[in-house]
Structure 1
Amino acid sequence: MKFSLEKLKRMLIVDDTEAIRHILQNMFRIEAGFAVGTAASGAIALDMLSKNKYDILLIDLDMPIMSGIELYQRIKDKYPDIVERVIFMSAGNPNASTRHFLVKTRQPFLLKPFTVAELLKCI
């Protein structure tokens, strides 16, 4: 996924851990100049996507109720024009089925913690 950084300015961070959302929001707002929205769940993310446009979606794979994989599938169905801008993240190494999903979709994956520079390499 390679896009012009000048055009990518709106990011949605989806993570069930409030501290992670807060840290990432500040990190990308301050260090990279992004306008950052946050969602605590897949359901909230889908609601936000219905009301706002985002250039990058940073989604935690390991969330309760709706996993990052399930959220990706819903985004793919409802918003196919932005599905290629999804970047996944996780605090732990993915299991075999998640690794298979990542290979199949060819979406970038970052292991937490990561830096702004590491994310920008995915764009």
Structure 2
Amino acid sequence: MKILVVDDMPLMRHVMINMLRKLGYRDVVEATDGSQALKLLQSTKFDLVLTDLNMPKISGKDLFMTIRSNKEWGYIPVIVVTCEDQKDIVTELIRANVDGFIVKPFNLATLKKQIDHLQKVQAQATDSAQQTQ
């Protein structure tokens, strides 16, 4: 699984990357903001995006909306990481089918639970698609 970690805070990126490595994910790429993430998405195929919500240039919300509206990337699961309780933005992202939320600070078990849930949902979707063929 190739994972893109997007956060403007270097320490938070490194924490997430180290957690992912502890979970056995080795193919991890980092971006310093949403703008850099979009450039990486244009040249690389990712299986998951973990993005901070509040970032300069392009926010996590705008990054997520861009991913969802793009024909080539719309399928990529996105987990939004945030330290704020902004109910209006959270509600908007849920309506737009965000794949998960993680509230900072979080631990390894929380990250694992989110990724495991995504993989379970994807496996169920694949099974359903195969049964209808």
TM-score where L is the length of structure 2:
0.76
> Is 1:116 aligned to residue 105 of structure 2?
no
The equivalences for 1:63-78 within 5 A come to: 63-78=55-70
- Counterpart CA distance in 2 for 1:26 and 1:120 is 12
> Is 1:86 aligned to residue 78 of structure 2?
yes
Instruction: Using the TM superposition, give the Cα deviation of residue 116 of structure 1 relative to its aligned residue in structure 2, in angstroms.
Output: 2.8
Listed as ranges, the gaps of 5+ residues in structure 2 are 119-133
- Counterpart CA distance in 2 for 1:105 and 1:117 is 26
What is the aligned counterpart of 1:36 among 10, 28, 31? 28
TM-score where L is the length of structure 1:
0.81
Greater Rg by CA:
2
Q: Given residue 99 of structure 1, which amino acid in structure 2 is its aligned partner?
A: V
Give the aligned CA root-mean-square deviation in angstroms.
Answer: 1.4
Q: Which runs of 4+ in 1 moved over 4 A?
A: none
Q: Deviations over 1:84-123 (max 9, x none)?
A: x100011222x23212213313421100122232123222
Q: Given residue 55 of structure 1, which amino acid in structure 2 is its aligned partner?
A: D
Q: Determine what percentage of the aligned residue pairs are the same residue.
A: 34
Q: More helix per residue: 1 or 2?
A: 2
The equivalences for 1:2-81 within 5 A come to: 9-29=1-21, 31-34=22-25, 35-78=27-70, 79-81=73-75
Count residues with an aligned counterpart. Answer: 111
Instruction: Using the TM superposition, give the Cα deviation of residue 61 of structure 1 relative to its aligned residue in structure 2, in angstroms.
Output: 0.7
8 Å CA contact 2:83–2:105 kept in 1: the answer is yes
Q: Which has the higher contact order (CA 8 A, sep 6+)?
A: 1
Instruction: Using the TM superposition, give the Cα deviation of residue 52 of structure 1 relative to its aligned residue in structure 2, in angstroms.
Output: 1.3
